[in-house]
Amino acid sequence: MTVESTAARTPRRSSGTGTKRASAKKTAQKKTATPKGAKATGPGPGSEPQLVQLLSPEGERLEHPEYSALIADITPESLRGLYRDMVLTRRFDAEATALQRQGELGLWASLLGQEAAQIGSGRALRDDDYVFPTYREHGVAWCRGVDPTNLLGMFRGVNHGGWDPNSNNFHLYTIVIGSQTLHATGYAMGVAKDGADSAVIAYFGDGASSQGDVAESFTFSAVYNAPVVFFCQNNQWAISEPTERQTRVPLYQRAQGYGFPGVRVDGNDVLACLAVTRAALDRARRGEGPMLVEAFTYRMGAHTTSDDPTKYRADEETEAWQAKDPILRLRRYLEREGNADEAFFAALDEESETLGKRVRDVVRAMPQPDPMAIFDHVYADGNALVDEERAQFAAYQASFVDSGPVDSGSAGSAEGGN
């Protein structure tokens, strides 16, 4: 699989019935219009939410009075680095999806289409900043130096995370929707009490914005002026629920009700995501409190590998967003400005293939966990009920012990049964 094939992947056509597709198309027509240029029409009456954009879908640089200066230090080498980050993150994600389809992983949550939001914001962080992710921030993990293969242990069922959060200031993945925003807020309050000038960032999706935990974290962070950035990746769909089922106003405007600013950025523009996140983090470090960043992007694939998006969204919607692909957008800019040649892209293709092979090899070599280990750390000092359950489970496991070789007659019967 080459960089070209991953970046220019054609969305699969729906295989459902005509009624199903018509229903999905009707739902898509109700959704908020896709942003064009520097503005987009939001779901709120008469609202014209500003969209921060520094790179057009055609790969042209755009200027912004507030945010352009924040990426003035970006060099051609930096641009190639951002492109490499996105391509390799997408390749890793594609390998993980394939491994799940092959039965090597129990589940996988793809980030396809959200690479710019994650790489842009991830590269805005300092080493001493702390990240609280959901379960889809594979690109941010890449930016924090977490080995991609360490992300797969939990999805294979061999560990509870696979990395030390304090080694990279990147917390373990959070499966419970929205709860990490409270963890981030509490951590940020502690950072402020310690007098540190570092910042905290919490990632969540548009669906999580409806959770009470997120509302509570907004309240506490505002009241205590916590140095936290809330980074919402609005990928338009909370599984099968469209954004208008989550809010009557653009998500970033919710921050106003809590007393801190919000901004909407083109989530498929890696430069804009970098600039806006830098500004939000700098603001937090200066002691000016929280900020909400809404990265307006799109989930190109399924919510997870157990989901079938063809049941609830139309092909036309996906194809419209495909034209805004974040990787192709930056490639066009690199080629337009002469900042990358064919040798660079070819070398990256080769690196991508190497990464894919390493991911496959590492996953298949992961050792099976001890099934009895689930009882070891439930209570620090032990518990009679857990001890009883351990004994019962041990007896159950022992009942599967092979009783010996099967004779030829039995083997023949088994083969016939298959």
- Catalytic member of 9, 303, 313, 329: 303
Cα angle value 202/208/209 (rounded, 5°) = 85
Contact indicator for 172, 161 with CB cutoff of 8 Å? yes
Where does the pLDDT of residue 403 fall: very low under 50, low under 70, confident under 90, or very high at 90 and above?
low
- The pLDDT, as a whole number, for residue 26 is 47
Where does the pLDDT of residue 55 fall: very low under 50, low under 70, confident under 90, or very high at 90 and above?
very high
**Mean pLDDT, residues 34-55 taken together:** 57
pTM listed for this prediction: 0.84
- The pLDDT, as a whole number, for residue 22 is 46
**Mean pLDDT, residues 90-107 taken together:** 97
pLDDT exceeds cutoff 80 at 335: yes
Q: Mutual orientation of helices 326-337 and 76-101 as an angle, nearest 10°?
A: 150
Question: What is the average pLDDT value for the chain, to the nearest integer?
Answer: 88
Is 303 considered catalytic here? Answer: yes
Where does the pLDDT of residue 405 fall: very low under 50, low under 70, confident under 90, or very high at 90 and above?
low
- Catalytic member of 283, 312, 313, 329: 312
**Mean pLDDT, residues 56-71 taken together:** 97
**Residue in the block written with tokens 């966990």:** 369
Where does the pLDDT of residue 162 fall: very low under 50, low under 70, confident under 90, or very high at 90 and above?
confident
How many other CB atoms sit within 10 Å of the CB of residue 271?
Answer: 28
Would you state the structure tokens that stand for residue 286, as one six-digit string?
């200066």
Is 160 considered catalytic here? Answer: no
d(CA 43, CA 40): 10
pLDDT exceeds cutoff 60 at 410: no
How many other CB atoms sit within 10 Å of the CB of residue 406?
Answer: 12
Tell me if residue 195 falls in helix, strand or coil: coil
pLDDT exceeds cutoff 90 at 28: no
- The pLDDT, as a whole number, for residue 311 is 95
pLDDT tens for each residue of 371-400: 898 898 899 988 999 999 999 999 999 998
**Cβ neighbourhood burial of 414 (10 Å; 0-12, 13-18, 19+):** exposed
Where does the pLDDT of residue 404 fall: very low under 50, low under 70, confident under 90, or very high at 90 and above?
low
How many other CB atoms sit within 10 Å of the CB of residue 122?
Answer: 26
**Mean pLDDT, residues 250-268 taken together:** 97
d(CA 188, CA 199): 7
**Mean pLDDT, residues 328-333 taken together:** 98
pLDDT exceeds cutoff 80 at 37: no
Contacts (Cβ under 8 Å, ≥6 apart) of 99? 105, 108, 152, 359, 360, 363
Query: Of 378, 230, 246, 243, which is closest to residue 299 (Cα–Cα)?
Result: 243
- The pLDDT, as a whole number, for residue 368 is 87
